[in-house]
A and B are shown apart, each in its own frame.
Chain A
């Protein structure tokens, strides 16, 4: 459904002005590294749902533990597949 590259591209498009060359790693902490704020995580969840018909992310699941980095998002999404 999503891999590291597609998530990275989505984050770059949403928060980094479309700069897909940005040095964003799988473990870059999105909040602490100033990529987005907690409201950004909510927007990210909405973008994931829009990109994957059938995917449904409960509000309660939009936490730092699930969305704090690309690797955490991959683990969370894999658990839902």
Chain B
């Protein structure tokens, strides 16, 4: 699992680093788990270690010379992180998987989960009581050598031991960026890359000993996993974890816990800034809530917009939120997490000439708003990480192209996918992000994507997987559906637009089919389309090779289905 390129310096392992740090202060607070009703479970290092060792002892029963994957499918809480660290302690490879969403049809979740299990072939599946009903435990236990581990059956260890020795250059963890779909790639990260990233990111953030991270982010996503779980552990600062489901139902929970627990750092996808500003109503919650102590709200994991941060600041200024607290980061699992981070202080918006940007893919800064486009700076790259635009290293500042990366915090490869790993790098060893952007005065700006990927509320979707689901709906013409995303400044994320052809003729029949498509996509992918258009046969544009061309259909949609014409089809 090693890639040719920059050698990773010899480093201790994650487990050794944590063990050493924790032995210095075994009673220190690791974190607080807060339920939807506000009930708290506080966990110190001694308690966590007893639980971690319990899981490690459990995994050791089936350990083999070759390391195995321990897939953790648990909800927010102590067992979720103890199972993960227990696998690390036992010298195995932990990975977090998404637990079932309440909206998803259990049968569909079970199918995609089984697909994931086939794909990653875990030796252990740790499934908590809440997730158990959705995963068909009988089929999992024993299938292809996989063992089901129920956290309730794991007892705390009475004797704790240091983690199993490992090579610091070896793969430590595998990260499945989002969802359970079989299309997801597992990003393999070495101990050395994670520890190096941690040092550099903590320095870029100017992380302090009295910092405290509050998060509702899922741990199967890089932002939750690295910034809100591994980094606080390694830096010995406490975290406060809330469940993503609880936050979505009650977004004020996050702000209350930032105030109550003295939270100083909070990472959020762009849409969350808008969602909280829009949905947390005046007069609800505690009037003396103060957030003036917060050091950073970091906007990350989908394109950062100035409008989203402005709305957040305007809405919560009475509680002490300021623009100077807001920052941005460009990050991805393939570089452990952060590529860039803005320095403390207000975020910078660069106004550029729109026609030079669109016609020449070139950045010409303007000092006025007329004819200007605004891009938010994501800050300079972390130390040791090189960023270039396009394949030409001499590409001038302000030239727009694909963002490519190189450095010791890059990933080791996609787990068991040497084909995808090879395709992700250029011939001269740079990682191709598939994002478009430019460099200006040493800072990275992201302008779009060259790869066909949708990022909806911080979650990644491939258009092909959505289209395949649309085509399963009875009444949609086989092979005739297109999915794409449109950036939506109002919600701060992308809107999912679905176009499907059908032989149905009346407007009423088509709208009923649109409703069926919505339901099918929601129940299979846990994703809500913003618009579904059922169209007459031959409406969708095909490329010369006979494939449905997403860009051409997107353009046709913008011409013909927006504005007054949209409900008439």
B522 engages A59 (CB within 8 Å): no
Interface flag for A7 (CB, 8 Å): no
Chain A nearest Cβ from B470, distance in angstroms:
11
B528 touches A36 (CB 8 A): yes
**Complex Cα spacing A39 to B531, Å:** 17
Q: Which of A38, A41, A46, A64 has the largest number of chain B CB atoms within 10 A?
A: A38
Q: Contact at B528–A34, with CB atoms within 8 Å?
A: yes
Say yes or no: A21 contacts B567, CB within 8 Å: yes
- Output the least CB separation between B425 and chain A (Å): 36
Q: Does B28 contact A (CB under 8 A)?
A: no
**A49 to B278, alpha carbons, bound, how many Å?**
12
Given the complex, which residues of A lie within 8 Å of B511, measured CB to CB? 19, 21-23
A residues within 8 A CB of B284?
58-59
The answer to whether A49 and B515 touch across the interface, beta carbons within 8 angstroms, is no
Cα of A45 to Cα of B514 in the assembled complex, Å? 25
**Tier of interface size on chain B:** 35 or more
For the complex, is B507 an interface residue (Cβ under 8 Å from A)? yes
B275: chain A residues at CB < 8 Å are: 39, 42-43
Q: With A19-B567, A21-B567, A34-B529 as known contacts, state yes or no: A42 contacts B519, CB within 8 Å.
A: no
Min distance, Cβ B158 to any Cβ of chain A, angstroms: 41
A residues in contact with B357, CB < 8 Å: none
Tell whether B251 is near chain A: CB-to-CB under 8 Å: yes
Say which size band chain A's interface belongs to.
Answer: 20 to 34
State whether A34 touches B279 (Cβ < 8 A): no
Partner of A32, one of B279, B507, B514, B522: B522
B-contact 0/1 string along A28-51, CB 8 Å cutoff: 100111111111111101100100
The answer to whether A62 and B103 touch across the interface, beta carbons within 8 angstroms, is no
A63–B518 alpha-carbon span in the complex (Å): 21
Contact of A23 with B522 in the complex, beta carbons under 8 Å: no
Residue A65, interface by CB 8 Å:
no
Identify which of B103, B251, B278, B517 contacts A37 (C-beta below 8 A): B103
Structural contact, B250 and A42, CB atoms closer than 8 A? yes
B521 within 8 A of A: yes
Render A1-23 as a binary contact track against B, CB cut-off 8 A, 1 for contact: 00000000000000101010111
* Distance (whole angstroms) from the CB of A52 to the closest CB of chain B: 13
Check if A33 sits within 8 Å of B279, measured CB to CB: no
Q: Are A62 and B249 in contact (CB under 8 A)?
A: yes
Asked if A39 contacts B281 (CB within 8 A), the reply is no
Q: Check if A21 sits within 8 Å of B566, measured CB to CB.
A: no
Check B283–A42 contact: CB distance below 8 A: no
A39–B279 CB distance below 8 A: yes
Are A31 and B250 within 8 A (Cβ)? no
Q: Which residues of B from 516 to 539 have beta carbons under 8 Å from A?
A: 517-523, 526, 528-531
Query: Interface centre among B514, B522, B566, by most A CB within 10 Å?
Result: B522
B542 CB-CB contact with A under 8 Å: no
- Would B515 and A32 count as touching, CB distance under 8 A? no
B69 contacts the other chain (CB 8 A): no
Return the contact of B279 from the options A15, A22, A46 (Cβ within 8 A). Answer: A46
Provide 21 A-B residue pairs closer than 8 Å at the C-beta atoms, listed in order of the A residue.
A17-B530, A19-B566, A21-B567, A23-B512, A31-B522, A32-B519, A32-B522, A33-B515, A33-B522, A34-B529, A35-B528, A37-B248, A37-B522, A37-B526, A38-B102, A39-B248, A39-B251, A40-B528, A46-B279, A56-B283, A59-B250
Given contacts A19-B566, A37-B528, A49-B281, 20 further A-B contacts (CB under 8 A): A17-B531, A17-B566, A19-B511, A23-B512, A23-B515, A28-B515, A31-B103, A32-B103, A32-B519, A34-B515, A34-B518, A34-B521, A35-B528, A39-B251, A42-B248, A46-B278, A59-B250, A59-B252, A60-B250, A62-B250
